Amino acid sequence: LPEISRDDINVVLTGKDPVDKGAITIISYDLLARCAPRLKACNFKVVLADESHYLKSPAAQRTKAALPLLRAAARAILLTGTPALSRPAELFSQLQALRPKLFPSARAFYARYCNARQGPFGLDISGASNLHELNVVLGGAVMIRRLKKDVLTQLPAKRRQQVFLELPAAAKARLATTLGKISDLKSKDAARASSSVPLSPEPGDDAFFGGGEEEEMG
C-alpha cells in the first residue's frame, strides 16, 4: 500500500510494547493472549489472521484471545494454505470467528461432519463425514480458494526427485520396531472405533443445515 509509511506500521515484539500505535498493528499469536485486553480496547476495524489454522483448538489461549477481536471487527479475514491440517473438527473455531450463526452448535457440527462418536474416553471427533457437503457450504459462505498456479505464475514448475538412502543395520532394526508399534496402534484404534457409539445431534441441532439467518462476513 503506497499510502502507508513505515511509521504507520506497529510491530509488537514484547508484551510491554504499545498496541495502539500506528494505522497497522502486527502481533504474533504467542503475544496475542498477553495483550488481549489492550487489543480489544483498540476496536480494530479490520483484523487479519495469517496462518489461521493455528486457531484450530477452541481451548487454546490464542484462540480465546483472537475470536473476540475477529468477531468485533467490521472486516475479518483468515488466511491459510491448510484450513484443516488433519480433520474437519479443526475448522469449527475458525468458522466461529467468521460466521458464528452458520454453525451455532458444536455438537451438531461434530456429529454431521466429524463422524463424532462417544467412545470409552469421551467424545471422539477425529473422524470425517459428509465432506462434499461441508466443502459446498464453506465455498458458498466463507471460503475463497486460490491455487498457486493461478496467483504465483512467476514460480517455476515443481520438480520432484527421489533420493534413496542406505540405512545402517541398527537403524533398519529400530525402524522396523517403530513401524510394528504403529501397526499395533492402528489395529487397536480400529477395534476401539468399531465398539464406539455414533453421536446423534440433539433435537433442534440440525436446524442450521437448512439455512437460517444470514450474517455478513466481514
What pLDDT is attached to residue 147?
82
Mean pLDDT of 166-174: 93
In percent, the amount of the chain with pLDDT more than 70 equals 88
What pLDDT is attached to residue 192?
73
Higher pLDDT, 52 or 149: 52
Residue 76 falls in which region: left (phi positive, over 0), alpha (psi -120 to 50) or beta: beta
- Measured distance CA(114)–CA(12) in Å, rounded: 37
* CA neighbor of 40 nearest in space, from 10, 72, 13: 72
Assess contact for 83 and 90: CB atoms under 8 A: yes
What pLDDT is attached to residue 9?
93
What does the mean pLDDT of the chain come to? 87
Beta bridge partners of 123: 118
What are the CA-CA distances from residue 153 to residues 51, 81, 148, 158 (Å)? 22, 17, 7, 12
- Measured distance CA(53)–CA(63) in Å, rounded: 10
Cell reading at 108: 451438531
Q: How confident is the model at residue 170 (pLDDT cuts 50, 70, 90)?
A: very high
pLDDT digits (tens, 9 = 90+) for 121-160: 889 999 999 999 999 999 999 999 888 778 888 778 788 9
| Residues 6 or more apart whose Cβ sits within 8 Å of residue 82 | 53
What is the tally of helices (H) and strands (E) in the chain?
8, 7
In percent, the amount of the chain with pLDDT more than 90 equals 68
pTM to 2 decimal places: 0.69
pLDDT above 50 (res 211)? no
- Please, what sign has the CA dihedral across residues 63, 67, 68, 74? positive
What pLDDT is attached to residue 180?
94
pLDDT digits (tens, 9 = 90+) for 64-122: 999 999 999 999 999 998 999 899 999 999 999 999 999 999 999 999 999 999 888 88
pLDDT above 50 (res 210)? no
Looking at 28-32, 43-47, 208-212, which range is the least confident one?
208-212
- Please, what sign has the CA dihedral across residues 39, 40, 45, 46? positive
Q: How confident is the model at residue 5 (pLDDT cuts 50, 70, 90)?
A: confident
What pLDDT is attached to residue 109?
95
pLDDT above 50 (res 207)? no
DSSP class of 53: G
